[in-house]
Structure 1
Amino acid sequence: MKKIIQIAFSPAIFFLFNSLQAQVPAIEWQKCLGGSNNEAAFSIEQTAEGNFIVAGYSDSNDGDVTGNHGSDDYWIVKLDPASNILWQKSLGGNSIDEANSINQTADGGFIVAGFSYSNNGDVTGNNGADDYWIVKLDSTGDILWEKSLGGSGDDGANCIQQTFDGGFIVTGWSSSNDGDVTGNHGLWDYWLVKLDTSGSLEWEKSFGGSLNDMAYSVQQTIDGGFIVAGYSESSDGDVSGNHGFRDYWIIKTDADGNLLWQTFLGGTEYDEAHSIIQLKEGGYLVAGFAGSAYGDVTGNHG
C-alpha cells in the first residue's frame, strides 16, 4: 500500500509519500510536536539511516521543547521511523531566529539555514537587522560552527545545499549593500552565497532589479553551476521579461556565480516559484503557486 507520513509542528502540516502503487495512500502515522507557544516546520528530510530531520522554529520552552533562548529559536528535531523523538535542539539568541532549510551532510551531520536577528546565545557576528544564519551540526545536533552573513538591511536564507566540493550554496533575499553583501539593485535581491567546508565566504552575488526579488530554492547542476528559483517584481537590472506584477524568476549561473541566463514564467498576477530541481535529462522542474490565468499560466481554477 502506498503510504503517507504526516508530521506537524503546530499548526503547519507536511506530507511525505511514496508512489509505488496507484491507490489512495493511507496515513501511516502523524505527529504534532511543540509546546504551549508557536511552532512551525519548514523543512524535512529523511536521513541516510532512515530517520527524519525536521527544522523550523519554536518560541516554547515546555512540552517537547527545551533550551529556548528567547522569542523564536531554530528548532531542530530528529525522529525515528516511528515518529519518536531521538533528540531536539533549540538554537539561537534572545531575538527572532527561524530555520527555513536543513540537509544532512556527507559526514552524517546537518547544515541549517534561515535568518536571525540575534547577536547573543548561539549567534555571533550579526551585521544588523536579520542576517543569514548558517549552522553546522554534528550527527547528534551539537553546533560545530555557525556564521552570520549579511549587512545592515534585511537578509534571510531560504535554501541551503551541500555542493560537490563539500562546501555549501545558500540563497534567499537581501536588501543590504554593505557588510558581506555587494551589488544590491534595490529593495530585496536574490542573494547567492558560496561557502567552503568550514563556512568561510568564497563568493557572493546579488541578482535582481529595483523592486522585490526573492529566491526560495537553489540546486547545483550537473555542469557544476547553479539553478535558482523564486519570484521577481522587477523589470530592470538583471531582470527582463516580466509578465506583470510578480513572476517566477529562474536564473542559471556558472560555478562562480556568474549569470548565464534568466527567464520569467507567469502571468499578470502573483506567481511565485518555491522549488526547482534538475532532471536526469538536464532540464528543470519548477513548482510554486500561480494567481494568474494568463500569459504562461493555463487552467487556473480560481
Structure 2
Amino acid sequence: MKRLALATLIVFFSSMAAAFYGSFGGERSEELLDVIRVSDTFIAVGFSEHYEEPYIETLAIKLDLDGGVLWTKEFGSMGDDLGRCVVAIDDNHYFLVSRTESAGNAKLLIAMINGEGDLIWQKNHGKNSDYSPWSVINTGDGFVVAGQCATDRNYFQASLLKIETSGKIVWEKDFGKNDFDAAIDVILLSDGKLLVTGYSWVEDHQYLWLAKLDSTGRLIWQKLLGKKDGLHLEGRGLAEVENGYLVAGVASDFSGSAYIAKVDPSGELLNEVFLDDKFPAVLALAKDNESYVALLSFVTVAEEGFGLVRINEDGEIIQEKVFKVGSFEPHSFARLDSGKFLVVGTRSNDSKGRQAYWTSAEF
C-alpha cells in the first residue's frame, strides 16, 4: 500500500526577481538525484523509500518552469530500485535509469515513460553484476549510460553501455585496472566521439580518470590526472571548450574540496583550480551563454546549502555565489534561463524526514 505524499511550492520575491522552492514527501524518505529541462518543463528523478514494507522505488517528478508539480510517479520492479539519471528521447518521451537490487545483485533498470508519466516499457540490462549508473546522454543514434560494475576479472570497473530507443543493447564496455574504477559523467563531443570522466585507483591512490572513445566504445586515449603523493582526485562533470575540455569534481585527503581543470584535446593538463573546503565537491557542470557554471556542495560548521561558480574556457573562476539552505543536500541542476537554474536534491525536515527538494537560483 502506498502512502500519500505532499508537494509544496513557495514563491518569493528577492532583488526584483521571482524565485521559488518546492518539496515533495510524506512519511518516508525521498531524494532527487538528477534533473533535465525538456522544452517548457523539468523532469527530475530519484527514489522513494517506503518504510512499512520496506521497499524502494524510482521516483519521477515533472515540474513546470515556475517549480509547480505537474505529476509525480513511482516505478519499480520486484527489487529495490534507485533512480539515478534521466535523459530525453524527444519532447514527450524519457528514459529513467535506475540501479535495481535483488537477491544480493544489482543490474541496470531502464524505463521508458511518456510525457504524462505513463510507463511504456522497462528492461533490466547488464552482462556483469553490481551496477551503479551515474549519468546518461542522448547521442542522436542511441543512448549511453556511464557508471560502474563488477566483472569477473576485477572488482569494480568503469562501465559504459549503449542502447537503442527500443532498449536493445548496441554495445557494452568496461574499463579499469586491478582495483576500483568508475565512469561518472559522459558527454558527446562535436566530432561525434565520447568523453568520459570518473576515477581510477592505482596502488592505493585515486586518480581522476579521463578517456576519449569512438562511437563504438573503442578507446582512443585515456589519462590519469593527479600525483601519487598528491590529493585523491575524482571527475564528476565535463564540458567541451575551445582547444580542449573542462573537467570538474573532487580533490580530497581527509576532507574534500571542489576541483576544476582544463585539459588539451589529448587530455594533457593545462590548468587546475582547487576551491576552498567550504565547497566539498563539484556536483555538475553546465554551459550558460559564453561561460560555464558548476554546481557545488556548500558546508561549514554553521551553514549548509550549495554554491554556483562561473568558469571561463580556460578553467578560471570568474564569479562565485553561495546559497544558504539548511539541511539541504544538492545533487544536480538544470538551466532555467540565462543565469538562472533549478537545483534539486534532498532536504531533511524534523517532522517529515528526508524530502525531495528543489529551488531556483539566480546567478
TM-score, normalised via structure 2 length? 0.62
Alignment partner of 1:140 out of 92, 116, 121: 116
Mark the CA change 1:109 to 1:228 in structure 2 (over 3 Å): closer, same or farther.
Answer: same
Q: Give distance in 2, aligned partners of 1:100 and 1:30.
A: 22
Relative to its length, the structure with more strand (as a share) is: 2
Q: What is the CA-CA distance between 1:25 and the residue it aligns to? A: 10
Q: Are 2:218 and 1:218 equivalent residues in the alignment?
A: no
| 1:258 counterpart residue number | 218
2:250 maps to which of 256, 270, 289: 289
Equivalent in the alignment of 1:123: none
Residue from 116, 138, 143 that aligns with 1:162: 138
CA distance in 2, matches of 1:88, 1:272: 33
Contact 1:92 1:118 (C-alpha < 8 Å) held by counterparts:
no
Give unpaired runs (5+ residues) of structure 1. 1-8, 10-22, 62-67, 120-127, 178-184, 236-243
Cα deviations across residues 31-66 of structure 1 (Å, max 9, x unaligned)? Answer: 121221111111011221x221110011149xxxxx
Q: Distance in 1 between matches of 2:248 and 2:133?
A: 19
Distance 1:300 1:83 in 2: 31
Between the aligned partners of 1:31 and 1:73, the Cα distance in structure 2 is 21
**1:301 and 1:82 mapped to 2: Cα distance?**
32
> What is the distance in 1 between the residues matched to 2:53 and 2:115?
22
Structure 2 Cα separation of the partners of residues 69 and 144 of structure 1: 26
Please report how far the alpha carbon of residue 160 of structure 1 lies from its aligned counterpart in structure 2 after TM superposition: 0.9
**Cα distance in 2, alignment partners of residues 140 and 35 from structure 1:** 22
Say which of 98, 103, 106 aligns to 1:130: 106
Aligned with 2:56 (options 61, 72, 88)? 72
Cα shift at 1:300: 5.4
* Structure 1 pair 28–215 and aligned structure 2 pair: CA distance change class (3 A): same
Structure 2 match to 1:51: 41
Would you say how many aligned residue pairs link Structure 1 and Structure 2? 250
- Deviation string, structure 1 residues 279-298 (Cα, Å, up to 9, x no partner): 3x3621111111159x9866
- 1:75-120 CA deviation, whole Å, 9 max, x = no partner? 000012222211111011343211111122225211111210149x
Report if the CA contact (8 A) 1:43-1:101 is conserved: yes
CA contact (8 A) 2:80 2:101 kept: yes
Secondary structure at the residue paired with 1:33? strand
Going from structure 1 to structure 2, the CA distance change for 1:25 and 1:55 (only over 3 Å counts) comes to farther
1:152 shift after superposition: 5.7
Map Cα deviations across residues 142-184 of structure 1 (whole Å, 9 max, x no partner).
122222112463112111111122x11111001034xxxxxxx
8 Å CA contact 2:38–2:91 kept in 1: the answer is no
Distance 1:69 1:138 in 2: 28
- Between the aligned partners of 2:41 and 2:169, the Cα distance in structure 1 is 31
Q: What code does the residue aligned with 1:43 have?
A: D
Identity percentage of aligned residues: 28
Report the counterpart of residue 278 of structure 1 in structure 2.
240
By how many angstroms is 1:71 displaced?
1.4
1:126-205 alignment, distance < 5 Å: 129-151=105-127, 153-165=129-141, 167-177=142-152, 185-205=153-173
User: Is the 8 Å Cα contact of residues 128 and 149 (structure 2) preserved in structure 1?
Assistant: no
TM-score (norm 1): 0.74
C-alpha distance in 1, partners of 2:33/2:93? 19
Find the partner of 1:207 among 175, 178, 183: 175
Partners of 2:88 and 2:243 lie apart in 1 by: 24
2:178 counterpart letter in structure 1: S
Which piece of structure 1 moves more, 204-213 or 107-116?
107-116
Tell me the distance in 2 between the aligned counterparts of 1:299 and 1:152: 36
Does 1:41 pair with 2:32? yes
298 and 103 in structure 1: CA distance in 2 versus 1, 3 angstrom threshold: closer
In structure 2, give the amino acid aligned to 1:54.
Answer: A
| Residue 97 of structure 1: aligned partner | 81
Report the 3-state secondary structure (helix = DSSP H, G, I; strand = E; otherwise coil) of the residue aligned with 1:72.
strand
- Taking only aligned residues, the RMSD between alpha carbons, in angstroms, comes to 3.0
Amino acid at match of 1:164: G
Q: Which has the higher contact order (CA 8 A, sep 6+)?
A: 2
The amino acid across from 1:173 in the alignment is Q
Letter paired with 1:286: V
CA distance in 1, matches of 2:100, 2:15: 41
How far apart in 2 are the matches of 1:171 and 1:208? Answer: 13
- State the AA in 1 paired with 2:148: W
State the AA in 2 paired with 1:41: L
Shift of 1:269: 3.1
Question: Is 2:200 the counterpart of 1:232?
Answer: yes
